Amino acid sequence: MEIFQKTAELMHWRNAHRPQSVGFVPTMGALHAGHISLVERAKSENHLTVCSIFVNPTQFNNADDLKYYPRTPEQDLEMLQAAGCDAVFMPDEVEMYAAPPQMRLHFGNLEQVMEGAHRPGHFNGVGLVVSKLFHMVQPDVAYFGQKDLQQFLIIKRLVTDLSFPVRLVCCPVVREPDGLAMSSRNMRLSKQAREQAPALYRALNVAKQRILNGEKPDLVCAEVAAQLNENPSFHVEYLVLVDTENLRQVHHPQACEEYALCIAAFVEQVRLIDNLIFRM
């Protein structure tokens, strides 16, 4: 497995392996089985697989969140080696941002709801770093997890509007045995918070079933969020039913259409997100 810290070295390697296809998995490290499932999917569909590890400062609007984001580089490399990854790109901040970026990206409605409403500037940072990584890695296919559904739709818009020659693949959420969506942030959960966190997934399933039974989504989401908030360890920022293509809130779901129930909540001091996609 090759490890690159400089863009020039990575691009030289990439050019030396043309026309072999490259599958790309961008990450912020602190890898878990969900990330590895993306690497395995990339390996199964491409000649070569590249994974990047970079905790991107431009997508954090909370200094403490950036400071305490888990970093486990040695463990990450061991996991990628075992998974058969071909190359890892591990730039530092200077390599990625020689100067503070001045460009601002706008994604319309996609960045004004859910994560965008609660984390202003977040998706500008996501768009910047993904654009730079696509230029540096020059992948044929890029793989993302469904847990970050809004991020995937933002990147889909980015690829469409800027004509990146990259095919995007959204892979299913990978969960712990108790249903908790795998996330690097789970490492920050206390023992008590970790025991309570699967309540988010249970809440999504309760809300889904009630909506399938014909109850009004707005009422269901409000009641389920209120029930979670009865636990003082929880603070739900949003629980909403949305269209899976444009993230517009759905008040009157139609038969045979696909929707996503999306949630963001603090469990103690750790902010987690999750979603369920289903068809009426």
The catalytic site residues sit at 35
Name the burial class of residue 252, with classes exposed (0-12), middle (13-18) and buried (19+) by CB atoms within 10 angstroms of its CB: exposed
Whole-angstrom Cα distance, residue 218 to residue 185? Answer: 28
Phi-psi region of 101 (alpha: psi -120 to 50; beta: other; left: phi over 0): beta
Q: Computed over its alpha carbons, how large is the radius of gyration of the chain?
A: 19
Q: For residues 130 and 99, is the Cβ–Cβ distance under 8 A?
A: no
Name the burial class of residue 126, with classes exposed (0-12), middle (13-18) and buried (19+) by CB atoms within 10 angstroms of its CB: buried
Q: Name the 3-class secondary structure at 122.
A: helix
Whole-angstrom Cα distance, residue 144 to residue 172? Answer: 9
- Take residue 201 and report the two structure tokens written for it: 């997934």
User: Could you tell me which residues come within 8 angstroms of residue 248 by beta carbon, excluding any fewer than 6 positions away?
Assistant: 109, 113, 242
Positive or negative: CA dihedral 151, 156, 157, 158: positive
